[in-house]
Amino acid sequence: MTELPEGWEARNQPPTLFRRFEFERYSGTRNFLDALAALAEETGLHPQNINFSSTYVNITLDASQEGGLSEAEFGLATRINLLYEQTEN
Amino acid sequence: MTELPEGWEARNQPPTLFRRFEFERYSGTRNFLDALAALAEETGLHPQNINFSSTYVNITLDASQEGGLSEAEFGLATRINLLYEQTEN
């Protein structure tokens, strides 16, 4: 490979966990987002990316440790699954 | 590591090339963005992410091949550097 072009930086990106959550109507989406916000406040853990529209929420969790995905992300994903099961749709 | 929580997908992300381009004023930023658009139209190559404000443009190029960063990204980065040098600030 040739030399890095001037001024550019090579960056590695961590692996991620991704899930799409779907809802019948906006009220369900809203309830789920509220529950996610409460979870973040309680735990201090925030998904790296939340992308939503009226009837879905896509969530991406980045690996927080060098070695890749760990219990930290798996535990948060499991808690988010519980919120989804408990959400009034 | 425990089992993947239900419904979640593990995703690997490609390495990237990143550079921040700064400008004295918005007109320079605008000229550079126009030149980037023309380059994309000419070559069919689009940076994966362009994030800008009035006096800077952050550009991220994702590796397009399995093996990581390649001549494709290095060549595009070099052409973008040339556009930056040619931009009226």
Number of domains in chain A: 1
Q: Is residue A44 part of a domain?
A: yes
Residues of B in contact with A4 (CB under 8 A): 17, 74
Range of the domain at A58: 16-86
CA distance A66 to A81: 25
Give strand ranges (E) for chain B. 9-11, 16-22, 49-52, 56-62
Write out chain A residues lying below 8 Å of B83, CB-based: none
Kindly state the DSSP code that residue B35 receives in the 8-state scheme: H
In a domain, B35, yes or no: yes
Whether residue A1 lies within 8 A of chain B, CB to CB, comes out as yes
> For residue B2, is pLDDT > 80?
no
pLDDT digits (tens, 9 = 90+) for A33-54: 999 999 999 988 889 999 999 9
Q: Can you give the CATH number for the domain in which B21 is found?
A: 3.30.1360.20
Dihedral of alpha carbons B20, B25, B26, B30, sign: negative
Q: Is residue B4 in some structural domain?
A: no
ipTM (interface predicted TM): 0.80
Q: What is the pLDDT of residues B22-72, one digit of tens each?
A: 999 999 999 999 999 999 999 888 899 999 999 999 999 999 888 889 999
Q: In which residue are the tokens 């550097």 written? A: B81
